[in-house]
Amino acid sequence: MTGTEASPSFRLAYVPGVTPAKWVRIWNERLPDVPLALVQVSAAEASDVLRDGEADAGLVRLPVDRTVFSAIPLYTETTVVVVPKDHLVTAAEEVSLEDLTDEVVFHPLDDVLGWERPPGLPAFERPATTADAIELVAAGVGLLVVPQSLARLHHRRDLTYRPLVDAPQSSVGLSWLEDATTDLVEEFIGIVRGRTVNSWRGRTPAQTPTQPERDRAGAAGARRKPVAGKSTGRSPRSGSAGPKGGRRGRPRRRS
C-alpha cells in the first residue's frame, strides 16, 4: 500500500428502530483492522444515502427498489398502538383495528407502515415526525400505530403500547447497491446471516488453510490409516476369543 492509499473501512447506514450493535461487535471481533462507521439516517433517506455512496450497506425498511439495490430480509416487526398508560386499550393484551374505530390515530409524515390511511379518525393535520406524534399521544389527543422498535425508541413513562394484530407490518433488511457488492459487503452479509468464521463466505484470507497446512493434514490422516496386512492383535482363525477368553469354534465331543 502506498502512502496515498486509504485504509479500508466500512460504512453502515441504519434507520431509526434498528439496533446494529450485535453485528457491529461481531465485525470488530473478526475484522479488527477494518473500522466500521455507523451512519444514522431516516427511513426516507436510506435509499439516497446508499445510491450516493455515502454508505456501503444499510439496515433499512423494506421494500427497496430491486432494480437498483440488492436486499436480504432479516426480520418482520410486530405492529403496536402507542397509548397513554390510563387509556382503556391497556385493559386488553392485544388490540384489533376495529378497537380503534372511534379513536384519533396520528399518521406522521415519516410513517413506515405504508398504508394510505391509518384506522380510526383522522387527526386535524399530520405530524411531521414520529417523535412529534409521540408528544401528541402524551398530551392525550390521539393514538399512534408504529413498529414495536419505534415504540421502544420513543419510550416515555406516561405511555405504553399494545400489539395491533391485524395491522400492516414493517420488515427490516440489509441492502446495498446491486453493482457494488464488495468483499467487505460480503463479509457483513455473512455476519448478519450468522455464518461462522469457518464457513465458506465468512472466512477471511488469514483464516483460510495454506497449502502446506493442507499437505500436513493429509499426511497425518494417511498415518492414521491401517496398513494392509498388519496384525491387529487378533488371531486369523475363525475361532475368536469369546466373552470369557474361551474359543467360539466347534465344541469338542466328550469321549
List, for residues 70-103, the tens digit of each pLDDT value.
999 999 999 999 999 999 999 999 999 999 999 9
Sequence-distant (6+) residues with CB within 8 A of 120 are: 100, 101, 102, 103, 104, 105, 143
At 96, which helix (H) or strand (E)? none
User: At which residue does the C-alpha cell 396520528 appear?
Assistant: 106
Judged against a pLDDT cut of 70, whether residue 182 lies above it is answered with yes
CB 27 within 8 A of CB 38: no
* pLDDT classification of 6: cutoffs 50, 70, 90: low
C-alpha grid cell, residue 160:
405504553
CB 70 within 8 A of CB 181: yes
Judged against a pLDDT cut of 60, whether residue 22 lies above it is answered with yes
φ/ψ (deg, to 5) at 219 = -65, -40
The pLDDT value recorded for residue 217 is: 47
| Strand arrangement, sheet containing 79-84 | 121-122, 104-106, 143-147, 79-84, 159-163
User: At which residue does the C-alpha cell 463479509 appear?
Assistant: 187
Look at the domain 10-76+171-205 and name its fold: D-Maltodextrin-Binding Protein; domain 2 (3.40.190)
Which of the pair, 56 or 220, is modelled with greater confidence? 56
Of the chain, the percentage scoring pLDDT greater than 70 comes to: 75
Q: Residue 131, Cα to own-chain centre: how many angstroms? A: 26
| Strand arrangement, sheet containing 36-40 | 36-40, 10-14, 57-61, 171-177, 69-76
The pLDDT value recorded for residue 116 is: 83
Q: Kindly list the domain boundaries of the chain, sorted by start residue.
A: 10-76+171-205, 79-163
* pLDDT mean across residues, the chain: 83
Judged against a pLDDT cut of 80, whether residue 162 lies above it is answered with yes
The pLDDT value recorded for residue 199 is: 64
C-alpha grid cell, residue 22:
450485535
Do the domains 10-76+171-205 and 79-163 sit in the same CATH topology, yes or no?
yes
The pLDDT value recorded for residue 117 is: 85
Judged against a pLDDT cut of 70, whether residue 240 lies above it is answered with no
What span, in angstroms and rounded, lies between the C-alpha atoms of 126 and 200? 49
39 DSSP β-pair partners? 13
Task: Name the H helices within the chain.
Answer: 21-30, 46-51, 130-138, 148-153, 183-192, 211-224
The pLDDT value recorded for residue 195 is: 87
Please write the tens of the pLDDT for every residue from 202-217. Answer: 444 434 344 444 454 4
Judged against a pLDDT cut of 60, whether residue 239 lies above it is answered with no
Mean pLDDT calculated for residue range 168-185: 96
Judged against a pLDDT cut of 70, whether residue 115 lies above it is answered with yes
What span, in angstroms and rounded, lies between the C-alpha atoms of 38 and 93? 36
DSSP state for residue 24 in the 8-state scheme:
H
- Look up the CATH number of domain 79-163: 3.40.190.10
Q: Give 255's Cβ-side CA count (13 Å radius).
A: 0
Which of the pair, 57 or 200, is modelled with greater confidence? 57
Sequence-distant (6+) residues with CB within 8 A of 106 are: 118, 123, 126, 127, 133, 136, 137, 142, 143, 144
108-117, 169-178, 238-247: least confident range: 238-247
Mean pLDDT calculated for residue range 175-187: 95
What sign does the CA torsion over 136, 109, 117, 79 have? negative
